[in-house]
Amino acid sequence: MVFEVVGTPALDREHRVQQLYELGFTWANLEDEAYWIDQLVLMEQSTYNELILAANFLWRVFDKAVRYVKGNRLLYQQLSIPEVLWDGLDRLELNDIGAISRYARFDFTVDQQGGIKLLELNADTPTGYVEAAIATPWLCEQKGYASPNTEMKDLVRAAWAIEAPDFAACIAYGQHAEDTGTIDALVAHSGRNMTCVDCLDLWIDEGIVKVGEQQNISRMFALYPKEWMGVDDGGEALSYAIEEQFIELFNSLHAVILQSKGLQAIVWGLHTDNAALFTADEHKAIADYMLPTFFSPELSGDYVSKSMFGREGGSVELYDAEGELEVKDEVGFDTSVFFKRIYQQRADLPELTFTHGSRHLLTGLFVLNGTPCGLLGRAGGKITGNASQFVPIGVKIP
């Protein structure tokens, strides 16, 4: 068995919630709901080692795929990337190998027999950083187990030493607990003197991004999904500012290519064609750890349909062996009204038993400054959506 649930919820939950709050994890309880599960999931060391190996290979695979896509507008269209971003994607230089995104997270399903399959890559604006980098090491230590997440803050510091943002932004900074906490933690771990702002307070004057009357912004980390520049008011002005290099955003603009779930379909197609783009070892990693993914519904059953830019489970539909719709996300916003869908072979999440009932476990693995690190556990239904809970994942030391 790869996973083991250990511990029982403490009787003094409110005290522990307050301790987590003081550490910076301020949303362990969301209103009257418990977002944090006060138990610990342990993963076998050998499976964790293989997960790191898989992530290293897949990170190289996806990096090569972005370089294959860059400059091909038919592929931009196929990936559902908003047209307003195309000029910038063409004109701006790609970052070094492995550094298209310095702040990303793979989401895997890992079964109890050790099978590992990639579900998706959030290479633009992943949340869960506070849960993984701050809460998980503390919670593991409290129960006497090891956490592999302790190096996350050092990797963020190294990444931002290179990118050197002066501002960090999210929507509703100071009001939205999770996004604000994520920004605050990243800034603290970066060691940089930075200004945090609300994206809605930004304005653009002839390509210059400003906050207030006097401050111009030229280098900014933004927890703002780049695909929304094709939808939001002001998106065209921001994309122009990026394209003309009045402002440099982190992650880079090309992270939107990594972010599109359609990139998995491109990778799978190149793999089935035995493309020379990938090495033999990379082809093996694709076969072992990725799922057949297509731009059209080619699978007759046991597949998943989801928007290329869906977030928090929104738009996800699971189909059974007969090709009948089994379950769909009813809570998250269905972004397929704006972006096209992909169709992926289904790989279910393992079901674990906690004190308060059974949950399906999603295993997240951050990639920071090109280094896979930082486990994030999300426990919920067959589809991991807004109602899912955070559970820390540690590693069993043999």
Indicate the pTM of the whole model: 0.96
Q: Amino acid letter at 213?
A: E
β-pairing, 167-170 vs 219-223, is parallel
313 pLDDT tier (thresholds 50, 70, 90): low
Please state the φ and ψ torsions of residue 320, each to the nearest 5 degrees.
-85, -175
**Cβ neighbours of residue 16 under 8 Å, at least 6 residues apart?**
10, 28, 38
Alpha-carbon distance of 385 to 311, in angstroms, equals 8
What's the mean pLDDT in 237-261?
97
Q: Residue 94 in contact with residue 100, Cβ under 8 Å?
A: yes
Q: 166-218, pLDDT tens digit by residue?
A: 999 999 999 999 999 999 999 999 999 999 999 999 999 999 999 988 899 99
Averaged pLDDT of the chain: 96
Q: Which long-range contacts (CB under 8 A, 24 or more apart) does 20-23 make?
A: 20/135, 20/138, 23/134, 23/135, 23/138
Query: Is residue 46 helix, strand or coil?
Result: helix
Q: For residue 125, what are its two tokens?
A: 């604006």
Position 386 pLDDT exceeds 90: no
